[in-house]
């Protein structure tokens, strides 16, 4: 079975994922103070509980965005490593073919 892989395109795809991870990470970092600055709508216990629920939801959303950012960055690193491995394999194959091995 023949695999046709262009390492430059795989590396470019890794670059796109790295940029996307940076954008999402920067957006998450910029949004976190706003999402964490929630005041209760009133001074009664129900308002304080509502504030707690909103803050818990914000913390969950920030955690999810952080995990997504990390996953995207790791995926980019894996693709970049894959591009390097494909390049090294092709170089070894070309050297072996040149030597007649």
Q: What pLDDT is recorded for position 14? A: 95
The series of mean pLDDT values per 10 residues for the chain, 101 residues long, is 80 95 94 89 92 94 95 96 92 90 74
What does the DSSP 8-state code read for residue 2?
-
Q: What pLDDT is recorded for position 1? A: 54
Name all domains of the chain by residue range, CATH numbers in brackets.
8-95 (1.10.287)
Q: What pLDDT is recorded for position 4? A: 81
Distance CA 29, CA 20 (A): 14
């Amino acid at each position: 079975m023949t695999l046709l892989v262009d390492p430059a395109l795989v590396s470019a795809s890794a670059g796109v994922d790295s940029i996307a991870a940076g954008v999402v990470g920067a957006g998450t970092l910029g949004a976190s103070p706003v999402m964490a600055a929630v005041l209760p709508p009133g001074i009664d216990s129900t308002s304080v509980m509502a504030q707690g629920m909103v803050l818990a939801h914000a913390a969950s959303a920030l955690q999810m965005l952080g995990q997504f950012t990390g996953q995207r960055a790791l995926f980019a690193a894996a693709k970049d490593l894959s591009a390097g491995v494909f390049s090294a394999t092709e170089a070894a194959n070309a050297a072996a073919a040149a030597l007649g091995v």
